[in-house]
């Protein structure tokens, strides 16, 4: 066994392909290669110039893209600034409108409060009058009984209106006397109090004439004649 020679290492078989037809070049290509004066150095220089041209073109394209991106960012920032400024102007205008609205609402509330106070006074005076309260109850009872025919309650409504007119007249007369005595004096005596549909004429020579516009819905003119 020790004297037997070792087996040689096995190698992969090689295959050689041979073309059935020989490779041929055209005569024009052969002539062009033979007549060309280009050497390896010239070919290297040409390749280097070509690479430099491509690099310069790529740098130019990147620079144009950066400029476009920068312009887009500047435009977006400008639009954002304008958008932020617009709400500020709108908010200031809104504050002004809200301020004006608050003043208007305050005035309306004051007017409503004044009207409610007047109605409250009239209601307090009205509660003391049994006839007006009774007439009001008759109107309510009639309207509830004739909810589909409210016009049938015209008698009750008329009586209630007459009572309210009488009550308002008494209230105005009371206020007028109190005011007149406070401004003219206790020595003056009120001769007459009368409602007028038109403006009063010139004052009479025997007394003082004063026209009162009462706080009523229809605002009737009131003529007061004083003597003494």
Which residue from 121, 120, 161 is spatially nearest to 138, judged by alpha carbons? 161
Q: Dump pLDDT digits (tens) for 21-77.
A: 777 777 787 777 777 676 777 777 777 888 888 888 888 888 888 888 888 888 888
pTM across the whole model: 0.28
Kindly indicate the confidence band of residue 124, based on its pLDDT and cuts at 50, 70 and 90. low
Q: Dump pLDDT digits (tens) for 163-222.
A: 878 877 777 777 666 665 655 544 444 444 444 443 333 333 334 444 444 444 444 444
- What three-state secondary structure class fits 10? coil
218 or 136, higher pLDDT: 136
**Distance of alpha carbon 163 from alpha carbon 100, whole angstroms:** 43
**Burial class, 222, CB count within 10 angstroms (exposed 0-12 / middle 13-18 / buried 19+):** buried
Q: Please, are residues 167 and 125 in contact by the beta-carbon 8 Å criterion?
A: yes
- What three-state secondary structure class fits 98? helix
Q: H/E element holding 158?
A: helix 154-183
């Amino acid at each position: 066994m020790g004297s037997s020679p070792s087996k040689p290492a096995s190698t992969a078989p090689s295959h050689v392909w041979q073309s059935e037809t020989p490779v041929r070049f055209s005569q024009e290509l052969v002539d062009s290669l033979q007549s060309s004066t280009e050497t390896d150095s010239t070919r290297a220089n040409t390749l280097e110039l070509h690479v430099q041209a491509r690099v310069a073109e790529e740098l130019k394209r990147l620079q144009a893209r950066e400029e476009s991106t920068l312009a887009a960012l500047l435009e977006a920032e400008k639009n954002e600034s304008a958008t932020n400024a617009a709400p500020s102007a709108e908010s200031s205008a809104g504050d002004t409108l809200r301020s004006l609205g608050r003043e208007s609402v305050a005035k309306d509330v004051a007017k409503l409060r004044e009207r409610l106070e007047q109605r409250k006074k009239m209601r307090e005076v009205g509660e003391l009058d049994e006839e007006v309260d009774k007439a009001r109850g008759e109107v309510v009872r009639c309207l509830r009984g004739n909810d589909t025919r409210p016009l049938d309650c015209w008698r009750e409504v008329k009586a209630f209106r007459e009572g309210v007119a009488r009550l308002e007249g008494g209230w105005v007369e009371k206020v007028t006397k109190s005011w007149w005595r406070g401004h003219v004096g206790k020595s003056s005596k009120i001769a007459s109090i009368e409602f007028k549909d038109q403006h009063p004429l010139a004052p009479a020579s025997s007394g003082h004439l004063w026209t009162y516009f009462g706080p009523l819905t229809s605002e009737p003119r009131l003529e007061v004649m004083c003597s003494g």
